[in-house]
Amino acid sequence: MGGKSCFGVLSNRDAYNSRKIDDALRDENLSNKEIKLLLLGAGESGKSTLFKQMKIIHHNGYTPDECLGYRDIIRSNILQSMKSLILATYKLDTPIESAENRAHSAKINEYDQEAMLHITKIWTEELGKNLEELWNDEGIQKVYRQRSKFQLLDSTEYFFANIKRISKSEYVPNEQDVLRCRVKTTGIVESEFDFNNIKFKLFDVGGQRNERKKWIHCFDNVTAVLFVTSLSEYDQKCYEDDQTLRMKESLVLFDEIANSHYFSDTPIILFCNKEDLFKEKIKTIPLTVCFEDYRGPENDFDSAVNFVKQKFLSLNKEEREVYSHVTCATDTRNIKKVFDDIKEIIIKNALNQV
């Protein structure tokens, strides 16, 4: 049944017509308004992956030419990941086992940052084969299992699982490859899209500490803040100091945002991201490495997620509107569903601002 009015209970037909009128009024009020969404979070949280998903969901995805533009970035990610793994074999005193692979590693270590910037010149199918052999070396796998002790891209395993395809001369990245590749966001990147005839503008701002001073320029007339935190990084340290746990850094940042006077009337939507990686990691690494006060079952995904969510939500001292969602930013269906769920929150706040 519909809602009540001073004339009694609305019929189903009246309720339907009332909704149609409400929708028409909403569309008219919002037709000339730009809904501004601010994507915030610490570095490596998955913000830029969410940003790419908006293009896939609302802009018919990436063309083959656009995907091709990511090929060198993906190959650079792979080479950089292997260089990090090789360095970790020394740091963790875990030698590469095969003599042939040790020779491969010496060659790969010769590639400096300049070479990485011109990866088209150095990448061959033979290099790809050498990288694959190194990846399968037991010494490299041993340090990979200890990856929380050093800096390594989340997408490392995914890309090495696809190294044969990526190494081919005719390789054109697919959308999943594009979502998985890492390019550090510097400055402010924006994207516009229409959703139900309403204009949205999404801002992605660099999450590393030296980038955050630029956030202030985005704070005017924000309709909603999308704050992204990585669930899986509770045992990993920040790039900036290699000491602070990333989850702790994210909590400090969320505290600043949730209680900022800039967002006193702005809903905040918390994305607890990388649930897929968290689900695997929690099986072997207890949450207590980050939160000594966690008393739930040691390897229980649901208990751990709820605990982390409450850690963030409890920081909302001003009791502002904060909504939380558990997400996997590389899963397009998951992000589309979440965005469908939050759109009414965003539109409602936009109407209040009209």
Of 119, 147, 172, the one marking the end of a domain is 172
| Within a domain: 20 | no
- For residue 168, the model assigns a pLDDT of 95
Is 236 one of the catalytic residues?
Answer: no
Reported for 152-156, long-range contacts at CB under 8 A and 24+ positions apart, including other chains, are 152/81, 152/84, 152/85, 152/88, 153/77, 153/80, 153/81, 153/84, 153/182, 154/44, 154/182, 154/232, 154/274, 154/277, 155/77, 155/81, 155/180, 155/181, 155/182, 156/78, 156/81, 156/85
- For residue 31, the model assigns a pLDDT of 58
* pLDDT tens track for 56-80: 998 889 999 999 999 999 999 999 9
| Within a domain: 277 | yes
Q: Out of 182, 223, 327, 330, which one is annotated catalytic?
A: 182
Is 49 one of the catalytic residues?
Answer: yes
Q: What proportion of the chain, given as a percentage, has pLDDT over 90?
A: 60
Tokens (6 digits) for 318? 């001003």
Q: Do 309 and 250 touch, CB atoms closer than 8 A?
A: no
Q: Which of 201, 249, 247, 222 is nearest to 320 (CA)?
A: 222
Is 146 one of the catalytic residues?
Answer: no
Is 182 one of the catalytic residues?
Answer: yes
Tokens (6 digits) for 78? 């792979």
Q: 242 a known binding residue?
A: no
Do 327 and 195 sit in the same domain of this protein? yes
CATH number of the domain where residue 77 is located: 1.10.400.10
Q: Report the interhelical angle of 246-258 vs 301-313 (nearest 10°).
A: 40
Q: Out of 151, 208, 332, 353, which one is annotated catalytic?
A: 208
| Within a domain: 224 | yes
Rounded distance, CA 56 to CA 66, Å?
12
- For residue 188, the model assigns a pLDDT of 81
Q: 206 a known binding residue?
A: yes
Q: 205 a known binding residue?
A: yes
Rounded distance, CA 84 to CA 95, Å?
14
Do 80 and 150 sit in the same domain of this protein? yes
Q: Out of 137, 175, 204, 249, which one is annotated catalytic?
A: 204
- For residue 313, the model assigns a pLDDT of 95
Rounded distance, CA 180 to CA 213, Å?
27
**Range of 251's domain?**
37-62+185-348
Do 44 and 77 sit in the same domain of this protein? no
- For residue 346, the model assigns a pLDDT of 86
CATH number of the domain where residue 43 is located: 3.40.50.300
Do 167 and 295 sit in the same domain of this protein? no
- For residue 165, the model assigns a pLDDT of 97
The torsion of the CA quartet 325, 55, 51, 259, rounded to 10 degrees, works out to -60
Q: 298 a known binding residue?
A: no
Low-confidence ranges of the chain (pLDDT < 50): 1-11, 14, 16-18, 20-21, 24-25
Q: Which residues pair with 230 in a beta bridge?
A: 273
Q: 45 a known binding residue?
A: yes
The values of phi and psi at residue 298, to 5°, are -60, -45
Q: 199 a known binding residue?
A: no
Residue 109: CB partners within 8 Å, gap ≥ 6? 83, 86
Do 313 and 202 sit in the same domain of this protein? yes
Rounded distance, CA 149 to CA 88, Å?
9
Rounded distance, CA 237 to CA 177, Å?
25
Number of folded domains in the chain? 2
CB atoms inside a 10 Å sphere around CB 114? 7
- For residue 207, the model assigns a pLDDT of 52
Do 168 and 189 sit in the same domain of this protein? no
Is 44 one of the catalytic residues?
Answer: yes
